[in-house]
Structure 1
Amino acid sequence: MNFHTRKWIKPEDLNPNGTLFGGSLLKWIDEEAAIYAVIQLGNSRVVTKYMSSINFVSSARQGDIIELGITATRFGKSSLTLHCVVRNKITHKNILTIDEIVFVNMGEDGRPAAHGKTRITYLRDRDLEGPDSVT
């Protein structure tokens, strides 16, 4: 799993208990997962279709640095399924896991569209000069 995004927990991210507000964390996850899906599918028109059970394992407090890890686990005809782990950057203790986040690739007409992808691709493996290149 690659951990790409890091967040520093600030006072505005806290709930009344003084721990990270789950809604803030879910917003960050959805945004990071959407960016991951856009890069993998090479299309900026993707939508979140489904999130499986969200397992809050531990909490984060003000001043903690957390990191979001996302990886593709399955490529459907028009969908991409991701797995997410959020952990404390310093202790590596898991804060949250989501087994499945499903994104659907959309066509210009706003309907699901086949994406033709079958595996994770990395920037170093892409033809940067081709018409389907993504940076």
Structure 2
Amino acid sequence: MPEPMSASERNLRDAMNRLLTGTAERTDGRLIKENLYREAGVSRATMNRTKSVLDEWAMRVDGTQPRDREIESLNRSLTERAAQIKDLRARVRELEEQLTIAATAVAELHAENQLLRGEDPTRNVTPMKRTLPRRSPAERA
């Protein structure tokens, strides 16, 4: 015949069920042992002495799953952001390649234009026409 359940063990099992179903009354609902004993209203030592409850807790709570909805949401968001960053980096590389092609084309067209005008294409500086500021009739006199 199984041993009768103590009040502490009953409280711990009830608290475990509330935590696992997401209906915590005294804690934030995270699946951690601290919340288990606080939800049950017993001390940590009492929880630690109740081996059957701790064994069941270990079987039912998988340590690799997110502890709560907020962490799960943050992990999902982080995964989405990482994918966006990867796509944006690929787009930046593509645009840099296009910019290099465009700059090369502009340089070649500039050199061709200089040849057509009879200028020296090896010259690095293109002279700019100097324009003098207009003077008013009073300044000319």
Relative CO higher for 1 or 2, CA cutoff 8 Å, sep ≥ 6? Answer: 1
| Between structures 1 and 2, the one with greater helix share | 2
More strand by share: 1
Q: Please give the range of the TM-score, normalised by the shorter of the 2 chains.
A: under 0.3
TM-score (norm 1): 0.24
**Normalising by structure 2, what TM-score?**
0.24
Larger C-alpha radius of gyration, 1 or 2? 2
